[in-house]
Amino acid sequence: MLTVDCSLFAVGWVLLHSTQPTVHFVLTSSFSPLLSSLFPLPSSFFLLPSIMKILTDWGFTRKGWRNNSRGEYLVLLQGALLAGFAILPVYQLPGFKIQSTQLLALTWIVASILGLTALIFIIKALIDLGKNLTPLPYPIENGELIQTGIYGIVRHPLYSGLILAALGWTLFQMSISHLIASPILIIFFDIKASREETWLTEKYPDYSQYSQRVKKLLPGIY
């Protein structure tokens, strides 16, 4: 009887220790997706150095955020204005409605042209800027003055694109609230562009001649 008990104990001990690694592996494999879903921070955390490098390449610094030395506060204000314009409720005059089908179609066509032109301006400006891109009005350290492409038509095509997009949306919606907000955007981008051009003139000697040759925000107009 004692011999049988000892044999059973020995067999159990061998089975337990021979299967333990396999059980441990199965549990680890089955719980791996669960742990990844519960703790996503490590994977996102590795994106932080890349984001910080992009901000550094754009010219953002801790000192700049403290004293607005490169127009950081203008970037914050721009983000707030664009977000506010995007979420602004559409308000139309009570009882106002375009009766003419031709006039309504013309309105939509003009709005579509404005929107398409805005998209072209923005995409082409991003391509032409390349490594010189920065949301700050202060030019990047190792940048160059771009005078070709869309920048041969207007000096600030990104701002022009955003302005045209705002006007197109206003016309498409026939929105009085956006009609009031649009001049605010135009005035802001004019102020930001002027501040930007002060630094560009200091950095690039050719900027004065460039600004006399090419309009600021609206091609051929202003």
pLDDT-derived band at 104 (thresholds 50, 70, 90) equals confident
- Mark out the alpha helices in the chain (DSSP H runs): 2-38, 41-45, 48-58, 62-67, 72-87, 101-129, 157-173, 176-203, 207-213
Token readout for 119 is: 């998209």
- Give the C-alpha distances (Å, rounded to integers) separating 99 from 90, 95, 113, 168, 170: 20, 11, 22, 20, 19
Measured distance CA(52)–CA(126) in Å, rounded: 20
pLDDT-derived band at 215 (thresholds 50, 70, 90) equals very high
Q: Which residue has the tokens 């042209």?
A: 113
Residue 48: what pLDDT?
73
Residue 102: what pLDDT?
86
Average pLDDT score over residue span 15-37: 44
Could you give the 3-state DSSP secondary structure of residue 180? Answer: helix
Would the pLDDT of 186 be above 60? yes
Per the CB < 8 A criterion, the answer to whether 111 and 178 are in contact is no
Average pLDDT score over residue span 183-194: 97
Residues 187, 119, 72, 182, Cα dihedral to 10°: 20
The closest of 115, 116, 184, 128 to 156, measured between CA atoms, is 128
Q: Structure pTM?
A: 0.75
